[in-house]
Amino acid sequence: MNLKHVMIVLKKELKDSFRDKKSVLTNILLPLILIPLMYYFMNMGIKSMTSQAEEDLTIGVISNDINTANEFVKQNIIGEDNINIVNVTQSEVNQKLENGDISCALLFSDDFFEKLNNDENVEVELKYNSLKNSSSLGMQRLNSKIMALNQILATSKLQSMNISPDILNLITPTTNDISKELNDGKTSNDMLTMIIPMYLVIVIVTAGIPLAVDIIAGERERNTFEALFSTKADRLSILVGKYLSILIFSVIAVIMSFIGLILGIVLNPEMFSTAGADMSLTTMLQALNMPIGAMLLILLASITLAAAFAGIQIAISTMAKTVKEAQTYLSYLTFPAMILGFSTMFMGAMDINRYMSFIPVFNTIAAIKMVLSGIIDYYFLTITVVVNVLFIVVVLIFIVNLFKKEKTIIK
Amino acid sequence: MISLNNVTKKFDDKTATYELNFKINEGEIFGLLGENGAGKTTTLRMLATMLKPTSGNITVCGFDTVKQDSKVRENIGIMFGGETGLYDRLTAKENIEYFGMLYDMDKNKLDEQIKKISKILEMDEYIDKRVANFSKGMKQKVAFARTIIHNPKVLLLDEPTSGLDVTAAVQVHEFIKSCKKDGRTVVFSSHTMSEVEKLCDRVAIIHKGKLIDLDTLDNLRVKYNEENLEKLFTDLIKGGNE
């Protein structure tokens, strides 16, 4: 292998790929813009749902004794809330729910008030249309009001019988999360540890695909391989130059995606706060504030994984007969990354066992997740890097042999 | 200059060339004539060190194509197919430069050589423009420049006019002739009789991987008593089939 030739090929491939507007736009610029934009629209959706849940609600009341029912609903269920009542009949209720004239309807049975006065159990039917978001939200709002009324009625009944209402809550559980104590006082950010590792690994696995297709299958299709192989540069130098260009392109794409992700979170912190997580910049910086050794190992694990996948991308692109075939086969690479990524998504950082560090791809996602949760396990991190390096070695041996074969290079 | 000794090339159970034996002299234009699939491209690829012979050996400029492949590549320039195989997003100069650097050319010498070739091939106007929007003729010139940038002693051209219009094909012919004037050895494959007649000093007729005959066109005419080259060729092929 000639290092000078490696550098010539690398420089040319990078220059060529950065002039490819399509791949620069897709892999480098779009993640920067699209991720914050995606979070912005998701946030807007959440906000719109929240405001819908709080805005004026129109409900229908169905009863034989409509005046009593209206009065009961106004005084005991609605109270001061901004809920309007309209009287509807049984026959028109479904139509009105479908049209959105009412969000939901309360259907009182004929003996409802008589039974209630006699302290008997009574049922009230809450009709709604689950296909309409506003109807589902209205039903939930009304349901919680009826539950609250239940509590008030039970309390007043117990008090009239000289029994303390506390009897309703004999056992009160209190929760105590010890993760902070176990984790040197650091809090874990669930949303952060759920999204970032999986997202980064998917980008690591897929970012180099356009370049791999272009510089291997594309080059063969354009008939430039033959001219290239007739130069003084040996095949190994050409291969390594191309391989490094894919790796560098992937790493740049990963960095841009990471910046896009952080931008998306920082610009839309309410979205994550709604889901119960503190996504302020301070919290994120705290999560990213890890020992330098752990940070380096995480970086190394990510780069080594990208390096292994750059090799896999070259191998697939080399074996494919055409550019189209290469694109199809390489698109399947997303699936294992997604499957392994999803498998860690709902796994707590402390559920991750050390043996998992021996599973390529999974180990990197798990390592990032652990470190972001504040769990620094140098054993796990080191094994992850070692396994990834072995993964690279296997992949490189395979592609070097593939490149030596006449049949795979010259079709 | 080039010597093939009992060269056989097999792909799995298919024999692409069978015990080819011939020599090509320095400074001659040598044609490989045959139908599609006759083994011409395989022969050129073996000369270019891209394929290794299954048996036999080849020497180019005194170097063995298997044992001294790098030395062989230093001395050859190749152009395969009518399609020029250039990088569209690079300029004409960058395309030529890339190959020159891969031939270990000194930067100053490379710049000088690009200027010289650009002038000869009248490429000055578009040398710094990206190849993507070039016409076929312009691309062909860039490909020529790339092929001879390192001043190779031997040129291997595989059906260089295939897919080209008349003007571009004439440019290729002129280029081949100019190479001979420069003292280079040119080996080119073709299945067009008129092209061979116009350019070649000697021609090897290959059929189904076997060498049917090798001589100057005049000698072949006398030998087979046939003035019409196309008929001569088809008769020889028929003979090869029997």
Label residue A316 by pLDDT band (50, 70, 90). Answer: very high
Does the beta-carbon distance from B101 to A16 stay under 8 Å?
A: no
pLDDT in tens, A359-392: 888 888 888 888 877 778 889 989 999 999 999 9
Label residue A290 by pLDDT band (50, 70, 90). Answer: low
pLDDT of residue A182: 65
pLDDT of residue A365: 86
Query: CA-CA distances (angstroms) from residue A357 to A307, A352, A353?
Result: 18, 9, 8
pLDDT of residue A181: 67
Q: Bin B151: left if φ > 0, else alpha if -120 < ψ < 50, else beta.
A: left
**Between A137 and A269, whose confidence is greater?**
A137
User: Which phi and psi (to 5°) does residue A128 adopt?
Assistant: -155, 170
Does the beta-carbon distance from B86 to A224 stay under 8 Å?
A: yes
pLDDT at A285 over 70: no
pLDDT in tens, B57-83: 999 998 999 999 888 998 998 887 655
% of chain A exceeding 90 in pLDDT: 17
Asked which of A89-98, A280-289, B192-201 is least confident by mean pLDDT, the reply is: A280-289
Both tokens assigned to A84: 């309007």
Q: How much is the mean pLDDT over chain B? A: 85
pLDDT of residue B241: 56
Is the Cβ of A234 closer than 8 Å to some Cβ of chain B? yes
Does the beta-carbon distance from B45 to A226 stay under 8 Å?
A: yes
Polymer length in residues for chain B? 242
Secondary structure string (H, E, C) spanning A33-85: HHHHHHHHHHHHHHHHHHHHHHCCEEEEEECCCHHHHHHHHHHHHHCCCCEEE
pLDDT at A276 over 60: no
pLDDT at B88 over 70: yes
Both tokens assigned to A174: 């209190």
Of B85, B86, B99, the CB nearest to A231: B99
Asked which of A24-33, A188-197, A294-303, B38-47 is least confident by mean pLDDT, the reply is: A188-197
Both tokens assigned to A166: 């506390």
pLDDT in tens, A7-32: 999 999 999 888 888 878 877 788 78
A181-190, A261-270, A285-294: which is most confident: A261-270
What is the residue extent of each domain of chain B?
2-75+153-241, 84-151
Q: Are B110 and B149 in contact (CB under 8 A)?
A: yes
pLDDT of residue B97: 94
Q: Is A160 exposed, middle or buried (0-12, 13-18, 19+ CB in 10 A)?
A: exposed
pLDDT at A278 over 60: no
* Level-2 CATH architecture, domain A50-164: 3-Layer(aba) Sandwich (3.40)
pLDDT of residue A289: 58
CATH topology of domain B2-75+153-241: Rossmann fold (3.40.50)
pLDDT of residue B60: 92
pLDDT in tens, B101-156: 999 999 999 999 899 888 888 888 999 999 988 887 788 888 888 888 888 999 99
Label residue A311 by pLDDT band (50, 70, 90). Answer: very high
DSSP of B166-212, one letter per residue?
A: HHHHHHHHHHHHHHHHTT-EEEEEES-HHHHHHH-SEEEEEETTEEE
d(CA A59, CA A70): 11
Does the beta-carbon distance from B48 to A233 stay under 8 Å?
A: no
pLDDT of residue A7: 94
Does the beta-carbon distance from B85 to A222 stay under 8 Å?
A: yes
d(CA A367, CA A352): 9
% of chain A exceeding 70 in pLDDT: 89
Average pLDDT in the A224-241 region?
A: 88
Q: Is B74 exposed, middle or buried (0-12, 13-18, 19+ CB in 10 A)?
A: middle
Q: Are A358 and A389 in contact (CB under 8 A)?
A: no
Does the beta-carbon distance from A226 to B78 stay under 8 Å?
A: yes
pLDDT at B9 over 70: yes
Does the beta-carbon distance from A230 to B90 stay under 8 Å?
A: no
d(CA A394, CA A405): 17
Average pLDDT in the A205-229 region?
A: 86
Is the Cβ of A18 closer than 8 Å to some Cβ of chain B? no
pLDDT in tens, A116-171: 888 888 888 999 998 888 888 889 888 988 988 888 888 888 888 888 888 877 78
Angle between helices A190-206 and A292-319 (to 10 degrees): 40
Is the Cβ of A231 closer than 8 Å to some Cβ of chain B? yes
pLDDT of residue A189: 57
Label residue A281 by pLDDT band (50, 70, 90). Answer: low
β-bridge mates for residue B77, sequence order:
B155
Q: Is A255 exposed, middle or buried (0-12, 13-18, 19+ CB in 10 A)?
A: middle
Taking CA B199 as the corner, what is the angle to CA B36 and CA B147, rounded to the nearest 5 degrees? 75
Question: Looking at beta carbons, which residues of chain B come within 8 Å of A5?
Answer: 102
Asked which of A187-201, A206-220, A395-409, B171-185 is least confident by mean pLDDT, the reply is: A187-201
Q: Are B159 and B33 in contact (CB under 8 A)?
A: no
β-bridge mates for residue B11, sequence order:
B14
Average pLDDT in the A47-60 region?
A: 77
Label residue A404 by pLDDT band (50, 70, 90). Answer: confident
d(CA B104, CA B74): 9
Smallest CA–CA separation between B134 and chain A, in Å? 15
Question: Looking at beta carbons, which residues of chain A come within 8 Å of B104?
Answer: 4, 232
Of B78, B80, B90, the CB nearest to A16: B90
pLDDT of residue A274: 47
What are the residue ranges of CATH 3.40.1710.10 in chain A? 50-164
pLDDT at A191 over 70: no
pLDDT at A275 over 70: no
pLDDT of residue A53: 67
pLDDT of residue A195: 73
pLDDT at A338 over 60: yes
ipTM exceeding cut-off 0.90 for this assembly: no
Average pLDDT in the A176-181 region?
A: 69
